[in-house]
Structure 1
Amino acid sequence: MNSIRVLFSNLSLGKQLLSTRNQLPIVSFERSYKYQKHDIPTPKPGGGKQYRRLVHYPEGKKYTVKPLDVTHLAGRDPVTGRVAAKGIGGGVKHKFHWVKYDRDCPNDVSTQEERVIDVMFDGHRSADVALVGTGDKLRYIIATENMRPGDIIKTSRTIPRNPVRASEGDAYPLGALPAGTKVHCIEQTPGFPYHKIRAAGTLGTILRKFDKYVVVQDTRKHELAFHETCMATVGRVSNVGHQDVKLGSHQKNRELGNRPRSGLWQRKGGRFGRKIKPQPPMRIVSGMPPKPKEVLILTMDPHPEPVPIYGNAF
């Protein structure tokens, strides 16, 4: 090391640099990165947002029975393009059928009748969809187990004094149906398009009624209490054997839009024992969320006006 220093000092350029080493400006070189830094946050899945597909709805979101175009996102955020959900990609492209979950009828009609035109397969959901119409209006609904083209289904929002003997595919409020009726597509909140029990082969059973609520037991044996004015469709959801279908090959799973996964993690089944846990208690799901309680803040500040003291003062 010293010999290199002596050789460098004997050079004319080295002597000049050594003499002016205290006069040279300090230059800092930034490290060059292969990828540029960015402040775009990584999107997190959840909150009702999906990263599997993007449906192109018409302008103004006016309802139509025309199949809509779909863009596959492959688990990426449509705004930033970053991966948000892993294990998604590929898949067969299908047109999207806009299903109208809310079974409603005009206010001037007590009972509305519709004819089932066709029952078809939909690649974006596990259950089949049915095209129904009345007059010049058409819409898609979730098909029931035994629904066939040509059937007549009824829709009503009135709750009579005596329970209604409804047929499969009819839609009535829960308060109008007797106990033991099989239902699906139940409104979570009256008048809002949020429905429960709509997957293939699922159903709910009306157990009992109390006050203004109706208790429904779902497929997982959970008891849920809905308001009696919540609409529900009678019957079981179509495509009952959906859970029993075997893929048979890896390519079939790729056609469904799932990427290959590692075999290191395995779901624990019941072969080696399973913890038996009691069912959760009944939960009331209908109605708007309660208002937050007013918080009372206590301080040690003196009162602006003197407080009179009654009685003997010590």
Structure 2
Amino acid sequence: MALNRLFASLTITPSLITRRSIHVTAINFASHPDIMKPKPGLGKSYRRIVHFPDQYTVKPLEVTNLAGRDPESGRVVAKGIGGGIKHKYHWIDWVRDGPTEGPPQEEKVIQVMEDGCRTAHIALVAVGAKLKYILATENMKAGDIIKSSRHLPRIPVRANEGDAYVLGALPAGTIVHCVEKVPGQGGLFIHAAGTCGTILRKQDDRVIVQMPSKRMFSLDQHCMAVVGRLSNIDHGTTPIGSPQRNRWLGNRPRSGLWQRKSGRHGRKIKPPKPVKEITAAAKGALPAVRMTMCP
């Protein structure tokens, strides 16, 4: 297949094909591979590959750092990624399930820890004989009891931080995270550290939720959401501190991209504009009015 594409890219006639023309064409073809550049929102990561097992486990998973390269061709696709400390990956159970009738399911927080593969902290939770990881909330600590339920009551419930209920069961003004897009699919929205959404109002069987970006989504009232704000609030305001720590985080240097005076993305410093003199308009004589009897 690649050979056919190579010959198809030749711009000369078959009678004039020589060894040199094939060599030059092959070099040009290898220098410009057909690689799809990543686009925002598609969810494809060129930072690492996580080796997931067949069944869910709380055992830390092995990862392979890609350093911004395409896993198939090995060529650099994302130029801002490179190096970084290799962290173990903790598998998050995004589905907070619970009973549809009766009292909610109780879960106990065993441990709250940091995770190098995401910004928010994670919590190890015990549900009966099962262990799983979830995203930790702002004030979550070991020993807390959290609840999960898919029951849609007639009167809104008074939920505590870390509890998971359907959107229709929570009152307006509640801050939430890990909101489902489709009921039963698992928490898809609001995963970053220190972020949260707000339930604004209800319209029939829909619930309006405002995201951290101030955009409002109308979701089904049976979508699950976790109450509270995500942990590690100071993540966005903590300075990196040194260029070496930035390399530990897996970010390549970007010197020269921004300059205040003459840079491509910089703010151009220009001299102030001259004083603009503003005067009142001169009053002239009013135009003469000629009265006639014709309409």
| TM-score of the aligned structures, taking structure 1 as reference length | 0.72
Residue matched to 2:20: 30
**Where do residues 130-279 of structure 1 align in structure 2 (5 Å cutoff)?**
130-193=123-186, 195-265=188-258
Cα offsets for 1:111-169 (capped at 9, x unmatched): 21000000000000000000001221000000000000000000000110100001100
Residue matched to 1:51: 46
Matched residues in 2 for 1:196 and 1:268: separation? 33
Pick aligned residue for 1:73 from 61, 66, 70: 66
**Deviation at residue 78 of structure 1 after TM alignment:** 0.9
Residue matched to 1:124: 117
Answer yes or no: is the 8 Å Cα contact 2:102–2:151 preserved in 1.
Answer: no
What's the secondary structure of 1:163's corresponding residue? coil
Q: 1:28 to 1:171 in 2, by over 3 A?
A: closer
Q: Which amino acid aligns with 1:30?
A: R
Q: 1:214 to 1:29 in 2, by over 3 A?
A: closer
**Deviation at residue 36 of structure 1 after TM alignment:** 7.9
Matched residues in 2 for 1:184 and 1:27: separation? 62
> Which deviates further from its counterpart, 147-156 or 107-116?
107-116
Matched residues in 2 for 1:139 and 1:176: separation? 25
Matched residues in 1 for 2:18 and 2:250: separation? 50
Give 5+ residue unaligned stretches, structure 1: 1-25, 273-314
The percent of aligned pairs where both chains have the same amino acid is 57
Answer yes or no: is the 8 Å Cα contact 2:115–2:122 preserved in 1.
Answer: yes
Matched residues in 2 for 1:27 and 1:198: separation? 57
Answer yes or no: is the 8 Å Cα contact 2:100–2:151 preserved in 1.
Answer: no
Q: Which amino acid aligns with 2:48?
A: R
Q: 1:162 to 1:89 in 2, by over 3 A?
A: same
**Higher Cα Rg: structure 1 or 2?**
1
**May I ask how many residue pairs the two structures share in their alignment?**
244
**Deviation at residue 265 of structure 1 after TM alignment:** 3.3
Matched residues in 1 for 2:173 and 2:212: separation? 14
Q: 1:29 to 1:101 in 2, by over 3 A?
A: closer
**Deviation at residue 194 of structure 1 after TM alignment:** 5.1
**Deviation at residue 222 of structure 1 after TM alignment:** 2.2
Q: 1:37 to 1:215 in 2, by over 3 A?
A: closer
Q: 1:35 to 1:166 in 2, by over 3 A?
A: same
Answer yes or no: is the 8 Å Cα contact 2:187–2:225 preserved in 1.
Answer: no
Answer yes or no: is the 8 Å Cα contact 1:43–1:77 preserved in 2.
Answer: no
1:86 is aligned to 2:79 = yes
**Deviation at residue 244 of structure 1 after TM alignment:** 0.6
Residue matched to 2:105: 112
Residue matched to 1:289: none
RMSD: 2.4
Q: Which amino acid aligns with 1:173?
A: V
Answer yes or no: is the 8 Å Cα contact 1:110–1:157 preserved in 2.
Answer: no
Give 5+ residue unaligned stretches, structure 2: 1-15, 260-264, 271-295
Answer yes or no: is the 8 Å Cα contact 2:84–2:248 preserved in 1.
Answer: yes
